[in-house]
Chain A
């Protein structure tokens, strides 16, 4: 049972400030996903929480206790590394029992805890093997097992699935979700894969350049991104953006094309804005704006189109098969509720 509070946390390496004031509250049992582009400081934040790096300023408390200046040992957190970091000269059993042995647990306790964790993760048959004799997915499980035997206050995962192929990744994602539902420990999970974040997390924290851009429930973030960056980062294929200005009750793209605005949206005319729409929100209609099909990509259940609208390519995703070919003219429409308007200068969302 544990909570974590981070208050105005900053970290600089030399003159470069990598984390620029992070505030974060994590509730007991919560699964928080940290996402953001590569280099935005996710791993650094995780390493600060683990105590592997020292904060430049600000504070971290776990369960109400300030741990900012404590070494890793004093924090009772477990971390699963991207590379797994299994000790090659130790068996799976010894790897999983490593922290318990350090802690001074007696052999019988270690054995029973390791056996329990191995059963949960389906590693029973592999306990006497060495890491070199395991497949990628099995190594990942051992790394997870090494963390869960400790029953720590906090689990930290740093892109734990990024070394697996797509199929295994999807499978392990489900396993981690099941594990969390079973253990109910507090977990902080770093990933740059927004699908992982969406599917696993109770709450997503989107970071960019050392700051938290937005946090909230996955679908809230998806439906109501606070700025153009979050809108573009979450979702695959990514949100379409068109540059232009506001007219009266409509949006004017740079080439003069008229596009709709959210229902009841009212703002100063002539303001420069970004018009954003998710690919799946656009569809063929009788009355709307027109575009020319450039690329057709059938994926089986879906059809993904690249359509030139207002002088720029928009991605359109339809959950059906389409009989269209490049060069075809299409009339497209979008529901007012699915349109996002952002300030062109600072990217801020302009409406509720």
Chain B
């Protein structure tokens, strides 16, 4: 036997500890999920009288969700989905093209430009909010979809990811295609992009999450109710004379659930790596 011997006690400790940690992580989420299914009046009652009722509701109801459905939350979801989708589509095209240029071409000022790209994602967003807002205003884009989408398309981190990936594709692929008569655009669309599914998936996810979670910029740039995104809509429900806790919890829940869908969809792309096999 070459697996090291583990005493049952050590194993029990190990799994015990892990279970506690897992419980601590899941507990608030579970509580949130359950709370959203309780009648308004009952939400905080079990907390003050801690017991099994804290976790097991006496009665399940969809009232909170129904109320949400009839309010302006569906519009916020629609806005968020639209904004995130457009950002992902345009973001992948633009950032992949930029990354490809950095990886495949030699041009003057390339290193300086790449340094700026890296700096751009090191820089806290808060630092550029004001100038960005001034610009958006000057374009006449305040309170519009463009204001939400366009500034998020170019993403230094995603450019960086694509550059790293394209630089790792052996140059021979590009050169073989060039000798065979391919243009650079053809090489980009038919060779570089088809090989980069894992990077596309990761980048898409990053762009999606950035939009799905974004709060600060939408509040600044598009706070009109017509353009409110999910996070903005949720925040509207938080105030000091709070009485719609159910609505808040239900909307948070929906935001979380919808946010995980892209993860589940693209998981399988992480497993497959296409790059192997063509070389050597």
| Residues in chain A within 8 A of chain B (CB atoms) | 47, 50-52, 71-73, 77-79, 81-89, 98-99, 102-103, 130-133, 136, 139, 146, 150, 163
Contact = CB atoms under 8 A, between A and B. Distances in A.
B176 A132 contact: no
27 contacts: A50-B175, A50-B179, A73-B182, A77-B179, A79-B176, A79-B179, A81-B176, A85-B170, A85-B175, A86-B277, A86-B278, A86-B279, A87-B177, A88-B276, A88-B278, A88-B279, A89-B194, A99-B181, A102-B181, A103-B181, A130-B277, A131-B277, A132-B276, A136-B280, A146-B176, A146-B180, A163-B280
Query: Ordered nearest first, which 3 A-B pairs have the shortest CB separation?
Result: A132-B277, A88-B278, A85-B172
B118 interface: no
B195 interface: yes
Interface string B6-49: 00000000000000000000000000000000000000000000
Contacts of A73: 178, 181-183
Contacts of A51: 178-179
A131 B181 contact: no
Contacts of A89: 194-195, 274
Contact of A84 (B177, B274, B278): B278
Contacts of A163: 280
A52 B179 contact: yes
A132 B191 CA distance: 16
Given A85-B173, A89-B195, A99 B180 contact: yes
Contacts of A50: 175, 179
Most A-side CB within 10 Å, residue of B176, B186, B191, B279 = B176
A50 to B, nearest CB: 5
Interface of B: 170, 172-173, 175-183, 186, 191, 194-195, 274-280
B45 to A, nearest CB: 59
B119 to A, nearest CB: 28
Contacts of A133: 277
Given A72-B181, A87-B278, A102-B186, 12 more contacts: A47-B175, A52-B178, A82-B172, A83-B170, A84-B172, A87-B177, A88-B276, A88-B279, A98-B177, A102-B180, A130-B277, A133-B277
A132 B195 CA distance: 13
A208 B149 CA distance: 58
B277 A81 contact: no
B183 to A, nearest CB: 8
A239 to B, nearest CB: 33
A130 B194 CA distance: 14
Nearest to B180: A99
A329 B172 CA distance: 55
Contact of B172 (A77, A83, A146): A83
Contacts of A103: 181
Contacts of B194: 89
A14 to B, nearest CB: 12
B182 to A, nearest CB: 6
Nearest to B175: A52
Given A85-B172, A102-B186, A78 B179 contact: yes
B159 to A, nearest CB: 23
B200 to A, nearest CB: 13
Nearest to B173: A85
B175 A87 contact: no
A57 to B, nearest CB: 20
